Chains A and B, each alone.
Chain A
Amino acid sequence: MRLTKISRFILFLSSYTPLWAIFFLNGPGTPTGTVCGFLAFLGPTAIFFLVKQARQASPVILAVAKVRKKDSDTMGYIATYVIPFAATKLDDPVQLASLVIFFAALAIVYINSGLIHINPTLSLLGYRIYEVEDAEENAYPLITRHSIRKGDNVLAVDLADGIYFEKS
């Protein structure tokens, strides 16, 4: 499978699902709140379809020679890019415009930098992030619901840019 830019953008939006949920709860009934409510719903739905698509794809075998947990990257992402915006006043046009500009810049970086595995919604849905290395020291980010150990052979699907998703 190969994710299109649109799919990556939707995954970017999904990485802000907790923030959309906070905004929705802060302004229910308002137009902004409604949009945020839709986005909060879109996140897990996008991941559901991503998983479904990955399960239909033909995998490769990742022979794990080394493994490192990378869940801390998600924590770092939340602390740096999600929490600071939780206090944004959406009824303030200046703050809202600043947020939109920042989001647009971040979306471009996120889509082009192969960061789609850094996604708090994936963690909320029970997925873990590992960095695995094969015997030739090629390293791959791996999204999985299982514990990965050295010596495992994992059937995984390349989502994009060498980011693998375990096909269980």
Chain B
Amino acid sequence: MNERTIAVPNFSEATAILAADPIANVYVAFSNPKAGFRCRLYRLAMKQELADRFVRSAWTFLDGLNSELAAGDLSFQPYDPSTEAAHDEVEWVRVEEIDILAGSVEALSSGAAIETLNTKGELPGKPIFSVVSLTAIDEKNCVNMFQPFTMAHELSHRGIVAALFDGAFNAIEEKIFLFEDKWSVLSIGDHAFVIARPGFERMFDLGKAVLSRKDAITKAIVDVVPLVDPAPFIAYCAARQRVLQKLEMISRRSYFKGIDISRIKAAITLGNLTIEVVEAEGKISLVCTKDNVKDIVDLLNDDILRSLGISDQNYRVRSKRQI
């Protein structure tokens, strides 16, 4: 996720589509590596009545977000996995930056080409997420509302599903899917809005994706930050998805590219951190141990901050936004 200079997106386009009497289609994405696909969408055949309920549900959801926005209780921030999002923040990301999301949004733009799910027999793979796609007939774009979808959402997969028929319970053999009326991600045009970050990261496999880039990510850091022995640093970071996400963001920040060891050394002193700095043959390096890796990562992410004078305390922060 690069630093962005474009205008902050908002929900106005989604509101316009929903106001234009859209049609709704629901898709479920399945993963089946054995069959050769990581993510494939299937359309659910639906009655118009159910489709209309999805439209109403989407309206209610978007209306809630718009109300919070109008009351100033919601703000937009670019997606940044190196910091925790606050409850009143909606993060956004460019669709093209997330492979599975980009592929899904492209497929959804020609929904007719997506195969209808055959509900007889086994499902085509492990369900990953469901999407409610809303399209107004004269609009080019569609609003796609994603929610994680697991086996737990296929109720008929969980044992015996029974319902009351004429005063007596009987088993239901048909497939029963549960769709919640809350969504984790909304995509509109080129942007996606992250309503619930855990669902977003799980659906689009961001954890696995960052782990696959661990060598490049750790290299980008140790190439800039001189460490006496980078092995403990690499071992610690490469095994942790959250830390890798943080390091990836650090490596993309403008301040990091020009950082020099004297600034790091000064920050260690200011922050009173237990990171040993050694000098050998005119080269200053940090001594990394398994006990101080976290401090080094937090330091590089500028997560150790100082009071402006109110308390004169140093703080380690989990979430911060630039003023």
Chain A residues in the interface with B (C-beta under 8 A): 1-2, 56-63, 134-136, 138, 140, 153, 155-156, 158, 162, 164
A155–B46 alpha-carbon span in the complex (Å): 14
Measured between C-beta atoms, what is the minimum distance from A1 to chain B in Å?
5
Q: Are B112 and A140 in contact (CB under 8 A)?
A: yes
Asked whether B113 lies within 8 Å of A138 as measured between CB atoms, the reply is yes
B137 — which chain A residues lie within 8 A by C-beta?
Answer: 61, 153, 155
Closest 8 CB pairs of A and B: A58-B51, A138-B113, A58-B46, A60-B112, A2-B45, A60-B111, A136-B110, A153-B137
B47 and A61 contact, CB distance less than 8 A? no
B116 CB-CB contact with A under 8 Å:
yes
Residue of B nearest to A4 (CB): B120
Mask for B76-111, Cβ within 8 A of A = 1, else 0? 000000000000000000000000000000000011
Residues A61 and B46 in contact in the complex (CB < 8 Å), given A2-B116, A2-B118: no
Residues in chain A near residue B113, CB distance under 8 A:
134, 136, 138, 162
CB distance from A130 to the nearest CB of B (A): 14
Cross-chain contact of A57 among B45, B111, B118 (Cβ < 8 A): B45
Residue of A nearest to B113 (CB): A138
Within 8 A of A (CB), among B179-203: none
B225 to chain A, nearest CB (A): 46
Q: Does B314 contact A (CB under 8 A)?
A: no
Residues of chain B lying within 8 A (CB to CB) of residue A2? 45, 116, 118-119
A158: contacting residue among B116, B135, B138, CB under 8 A: B116
Q: Which of B19-69 contact A (CB under 8 A)?
A: 23-25, 43, 45-51
Distance in angstroms between the alpha carbons of A153 and B23 in the assembled complex:
13
What separation, in Å, do the CA atoms of A61 and B114 have in the docked complex?
A: 12
**Chain A residues with CB under 8 A of B47:** 56-58
* In the complex with contacts A58-B25, A60-B25, A135-B110 CB distance below 8 A: yes
Q: How far is the CB of B92 from chain A (nearest CB, A)?
A: 26
How many B residues touch A, CB cutoff 8 Å?
A: 22
How close is A81's CB to chain B, nearest CB, in angstroms?
Answer: 28
Chain B interface helix/strand/loop/mixed:
mixed
Most A-side CB within 10 Å, residue of B23, B112, B113: B112
Given contact pairs A58-B51, A59-B23, enumerate 12 new A-B contacts (beta carbons under 8 Å).
A1-B45, A2-B116, A2-B119, A58-B25, A58-B45, A134-B112, A134-B113, A135-B110, A140-B112, A153-B138, A155-B23, A162-B113
Q: Complex: how many Å from CA A158 to CA B110?
A: 13
Residues A158 and B43 in contact in the complex (CB < 8 Å), given A58-B23, A61-B112, A134-B113:
yes
> A2-B118, A155-B137, A158-B45 are contacts. A61–B111 as well, Cβ < 8 Å?
yes
Do the beta carbons of B48 and A58 come within 8 Å of each other? Answer: yes
Residues of A within 8 A of B116 (CB): 2, 158
Q: Which residues of B contact A162 (CB under 8 A)?
A: 112-113, 115
Q: Which residue of A lies closest to B111 (CB)?
A: A60
Residues of A within 8 A of B23 (CB): 58-61, 155
- Which residues from B are CB-within-8-Å of A136? 110, 113
Cα of A1 to Cα of B116 in the assembled complex, Å: 9
For the complex, what is the distance from the CA of A2 to the CA of B174, rounded to whole Å? 14
Complex: A153 Cα to B51 Cα, angstroms: 19
Bound complex: CA A140 to CA B47 (Å): 21
Q: What are 11 A-B interface contacts by the 8 Å CB criterion?
A: A2-B116, A58-B25, A59-B23, A60-B23, A60-B25, A61-B23, A61-B112, A61-B135, A62-B112, A158-B112, A162-B113
* Nearest CB of B to A160, in Å: 8
Q: Does A58 contact B112, Cβ atoms closer than 8 Å?
A: no
**Max chain B C-beta neighbours (<10 A), residue from A57, A61, A138:** A61
Tell me how far the C-beta of A126 lies from the nearest C-beta in chain B, rounded to whole angstroms.
Answer: 23
Residue of A nearest to B142 (CB): A61
A residues less than 8 Å from B118 (CB atoms): 2
Q: Look across to chain A and name the residue whose beta carbon is closest to the beta carbon of B133.
A: A60
> In angstroms, how far is the closest chain B Cβ from the Cβ of A14?
21
Option from B24, B110, B115 in Cβ contact (under 8 Å) with A58? B24
Please, which residue of chain B has its CB at the minimum distance from the CB of A156? B112
In the assembled complex, the Cα of A155 lies from the Cα of B110 at a distance in Å of 13
- Nearest to B114 among chain A residues (CB) is A60
Shortest Cβ gap from A97 to chain B (Å): 33
In angstroms, Cα B25 to Cα A92, docked, is 53
